[in-house]
Amino acid sequence: MLAQSQREHIDHVLAVSQTGAPPSDRIGSSWVRCIRDYGLDPCRPTRAHIIEHARLREHQDHIEEFLGVARTGMEQLYKRMAGIGYVLLLTDAHGIAVDFIGNDAWARELKQSGLYLGADWSEARAGTCAVGTCIVEKTPITVHHADHFDATHISLTCNAAPLFDPTGDFLGVLDVSALTSPSPRDSQHLALQMTTMFAQMVEDANFLRYFRDRWVLRLGSAWSMVDVSGEIMLAFDADGVIVGTNSGARKSLRPLRGGNDGALVGRTLGEIFREGMDSIWRIARAGFTADRTALSTGSGEVYYGTVVQPRIAPRAARSTETEAAARAPALERLAGDDPQMQRLIAQASRLVNRPVNILVHGETGTGKEVLAKALHESSERAAKPFVAVNCAAIPESLIESELFGYTAGTFTGGRSKGMRGLIQQADGGTLLLDEIGDMPLHLQTRLLRVLAEREILPLGAEKPIPVNLTVVAASHRDLRKLIAEGSFREDLYYRLCGAILYLPPLRERRDLDYLIERLLAAEGSELGTNATLDLRARHALLDYSWPGNVRQLRNVLRFALAVCDGGTITTDDLPAELMSADHRAPAATEGSEATRGEAAELEAALRRQRWNVTAAAVELGIARATVYRQMKRFGIVPPNQL
C-alpha cells in the first residue's frame, strides 16, 4: 500500500514530466529523462536493486587499485559523518556501489533502502537519485527526499560528487546518504561540501599515486596551505612537458597563447606560466622547506607552488645537444630522417633505464617488437634476457602456465616435470607482452599483481618468487576502447603505460628510402646476395601505401632479392599489388584504412589459429585459397617462414 505522501509525490512527478522542465532544473530534467529515456513508471515504485556477489566482484576488479586509495579517504570522511547518521557509498562509473561504510546496527534498513554494497544506483535503474544524476551531470548534487523519482526513496537524503581519473576520464561517484534527515534541503549544504571536498582529496591521492614517478607541481592560492591542499596539480617530465592534470588544473588553467581548448597535456609548463621553466626547476630544487615561488597565469591569477619529487628521480633535464649525444645506437638505427620517428627515438632514449613500464602502440608490422628490443639493448639490462610473448599467439588455455610456469606434479603426462614461466625467464631483463589486448581478463588480474608486487606465484607453488624486470607491452588495438567494452582492466592499463610510445604507420614515415636501403642490405647479407633497385622499382616501392607496414616491406624485398636476375631488382620482381593504383600512397585515406583493417583482421585470425590457414579460413568464413591470396597481398608471412 502506498502512503499518502508517496501518492502525492507520484502525481507531482507525473505533472512535471508532462509539462517538461527547464534545463537548469536538474531534478525536473532527470524526472523527464526517467520517463522518456528509460521508460520508468513513477506509479510503480520499486525497491533498490542489489546485484549478485559475482557481478559485484567484477565491478570491483575493474577499479581495484583505485578502491584502495578511495578507502582511506572514505574512512576519514566516515569518522566525521557517522556521528550525524550518514553512511558512505563509492560507486563505479555505472552506478554500482563497489564500496560502502555504514553502521552495522542498521544493516537491514540500509540494505532495504539500497544504501549498501552492490546497490545499483544508475538513473536508468533507480530513477533520479544523487549517484545516478551525478553520473549524468558530472557535477556535485544533493537529491533530497521528494527530489527522488521513485516514491520508495523519498525518505532518503543523498549527496554525491563525481570522481575523475588522472587522465580526466570519469571514474565513479562518492555518495554520502542518510535514511532520515530534517525536511529543509538546506540541511544538506554542509554534507554536500564535505562530499565534494573528500571526492577531490581521493582524486588527488589517486593522481599522486599514479604519477609517483613524475614531478608534480602543486599550486594553491594560499601560500601557507599549498603543501596540505594544493588545489591544482600538474605532473610533468624532465623537459617540463605536462603529462597529467587534476580536475582543478583542467578547470582553472589555460595556455598563455593559442587558445581556449583547455588541452594542457603535451604542452610545456612554460606555455602556462609567465615565469617559465627556470622558476619551476627552482621550486623543485628548493623542496618543501624553502620559500614557495609565486607563478602567474595568462589571466593574471597568482598561485603559490611546491613540487613533489618523483619516487625514484628520473634523470635531470638535459639540453637538446646532450640529449642527442645520449641517444643509444640501437634506437638511433630504427629510423632515418623522419620527424615522427626522431621524436619517438628522443622520447625512447629518455626512458632507457627508467623504472617505468612502457606501452608501445602501433599498427601491425610497424616494428613494436623491434623497438622493445632496441630499448632493452640500450639499457643496463642488455646482457640479461629479452623475452617476447605474443599473447594472441598462445592458446588461451596455455597462456597462464606459459607465463607463470608450474611446479612439478601440477600437470600429468608430457607436462609433469614443471617449467619456469616466461615471466621468470625474463628475470633481470625485459619482458615484452605483445598484443596485450588479447590477454584474457582473469590473467590480467594476475599480471597486475606481478607488476604491483614484483613477484610471481607459479601454478602449484606455495611461495611467490621475486622477479625484477622491465615490462614493455605492445598493442595495435585501442586499449581505451577495450576498457570501455569491459575486456581490458583499467588499472592494468595505468600500470602498463608509465609512458606511451606511438609508432607511426609506414605510409606516414618520410624515411622510406632509408628503410629500403637498410633492409635491402640486411636481407641481402642474410641471403648471401646483393642487388640494387632500378629507378622504376624504387618508385613503385616509394609510391605504395604499405598496409602491412615494415614487415610487408621486408618481405617484398626478401622476395625480390631471391627472384631478381643479375643484381638488379626491377618491377617484374615486385608483387603486382605494388603497381596497382589502389595502393598508391597519396590515396592512403579511406580505401587503405579498410585494407589495413582487413590485413590486421586476417593476421589476428591466423595468430589465433596458430598459423593454421584452414582453421583461419573457417574462422573468417572464407575459402583457404582466399586466405593464401590475401596473405600474399598484404605480405603476411608465418613466423616460421620469416
Which residue's CB comes closest to ligand ATP?
367
CB of 426 to ligand ATP, least distance (A): 17
DSSP state, residue 224: G
End-to-end CA distance of the chain: 75
Spatial distance between the Cα atoms of 549 and 595, rounded to a whole number of angstroms: 12
C-beta closer to ligand ATP: residue 141 or 374: 374
Where are the strands (E) in 33-105, listed by range? 87-92, 97-101
C-beta closer to ligand ATP: residue 355 or 597: 597
The partner residues of 296 in beta bridges, in order of sequence, read: 302
Residue 637 makes CB contacts below 8 A (sequence gap 6+) with 551, 555, 631
CB of 551 to ligand ATP, least distance (A): 4
| The residue type at 376 | H
DSSP state, residue 223: G
CB of 405 to ligand ATP, least distance (A): 23
CB of 125 to ligand ATP, least distance (A): 41
C-beta closer to ligand ATP: residue 364 or 470: 364
C-beta closer to ligand ATP: residue 167 or 342: 342
C-beta closer to ligand ATP: residue 227 or 526: 526
| The residue type at 360 | V
The pairing of beta strand 568-569 with beta strand 419-420: unpaired
C-beta closer to ligand ATP: residue 219 or 474: 474
CB of 550 to ligand ATP, least distance (A): 4
Rounded alpha-carbon distances, angstroms, from residue 222 to 196, 216, 294, 299, 392: 19, 18, 10, 18, 53
CB of 515 to ligand ATP, least distance (A): 6
Helix and strand element counts for the chain (H, E): 25, 21
C-beta closer to ligand ATP: residue 40 or 599: 599
Which residue is it, cell 594472441?
392
CB of 365 to ligand ATP, least distance (A): 5
C-beta closer to ligand ATP: residue 588 or 636: 636
CB of 521 to ligand ATP, least distance (A): 10
| The residue type at 573 | D
C-beta closer to ligand ATP: residue 368 or 507: 368
Question: E strand or H helix at 405, and its extent?
Answer: strand 405-406
C-beta closer to ligand ATP: residue 391 or 447: 391
Question: E strand or H helix at 345, and its extent?
Answer: helix 339-351
CB 330 within 8 A of CB 374: yes
- Where b means 16+ CB within 10 Å and e means fewer, 438-469 reads bbeeebbebbbebeeeeebbbeeeeeebebeb
Show the CA angle centred on residue 327, arms to residues 323 and 329, nearest 5°.
160
Rg (CA), the chain: 29
Spatial distance between the Cα atoms of 53 and 51, rounded to a whole number of angstroms: 7
Spatial distance between the Cα atoms of 469 and 403, rounded to a whole number of angstroms: 14
Spatial distance between the Cα atoms of 233 and 229, rounded to a whole number of angstroms: 10
DSSP state, residue 48: P
C-beta closer to ligand ATP: residue 247 or 364: 364
Which residue is it, cell 622491465?
470
CB of 624 to ligand ATP, least distance (A): 22
C-beta closer to ligand ATP: residue 15 or 562: 562
CB of 408 to ligand ATP, least distance (A): 33
Question: E strand or H helix at 197, and its extent?
Answer: helix 189-210
DSSP-H helix ranges across 486-548: 490-496, 512-527, 535-543
Spatial distance between the Cα atoms of 492 and 542, rounded to a whole number of angstroms: 40
CB of 250 to ligand ATP, least distance (A): 33
Nearest to 150 by CA among 124, 186, 111: 124
CB of 549 to ligand ATP, least distance (A): 7
Spatial distance between the Cα atoms of 112 and 399, rounded to a whole number of angstroms: 43
C-beta closer to ligand ATP: residue 206 or 475: 475
CB of 348 to ligand ATP, least distance (A): 12
Binding site for ligand ATP (CB under 6 A): 334, 362, 364-370, 434, 474, 476, 518-519, 550-551, 554
CB of 604 to ligand ATP, least distance (A): 9
Which residue is it, cell 599489388?
577
CB 520 within 8 A of CB 554: no
C-beta closer to ligand ATP: residue 239 or 369: 369
